[in-house]
């Protein structure tokens, strides 16, 4: 059975990945998005500056989370972003 990363932990993963750019995770605001044409994304606000992350950037942030929080191999883990009717945006790990 695949492990699930919930929406809040995806947001936490994006905040954690910002820490590698000398930004405190608690200073980051994240809104996850999904559009039929563009797919998954996130709007990240730091100090009034907004950056839009695409699906690949979100996957990269999740790889940081897998390495640092789950203590797994970030590159051998399959990651699939899913729009769930009840849970919102989740990531399935395999």
Residue 46: name the closest of 66, 21, 9, 10 by CA: 21
- Assess contact for 60 and 46: CB atoms under 8 A: no
What confidence tens digit (pLDDT) does each residue in 31-89 have?
A: 999 999 999 999 999 989 999 999 999 999 999 999 999 999 999 999 999 999 999 99
10 touches 24 (CB < 8 A)? no
Average pLDDT over residues 14-20: 90
DSSP H or E run through 12: helix 7-19
- Split at pLDDT 50, 70, 90, the class of 1 is low
Query: Would you give the DSSP letter of residue 1?
Result: -
């Amino acid at each position: 059975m695949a492990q699930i990363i919930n929406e809040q932990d995806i947001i936490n993963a994006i905040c954690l990945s910002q820490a590698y750019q000398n930004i405190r995770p608690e200073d980051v605001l994240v809104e996850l998005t999904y559009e039929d044409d563009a797919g998954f994304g996130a709007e990240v606000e730091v100090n009034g500056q907004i950056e839009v992350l695409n699906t690949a950037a979100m996957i990269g942030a999740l790889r940081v989370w897998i390495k640092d929080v789950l203590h797994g191999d970030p590159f051998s883990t399959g990651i699939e972003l899913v729009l769930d009717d009840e849970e919102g945006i989740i990531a399935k790990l395999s």
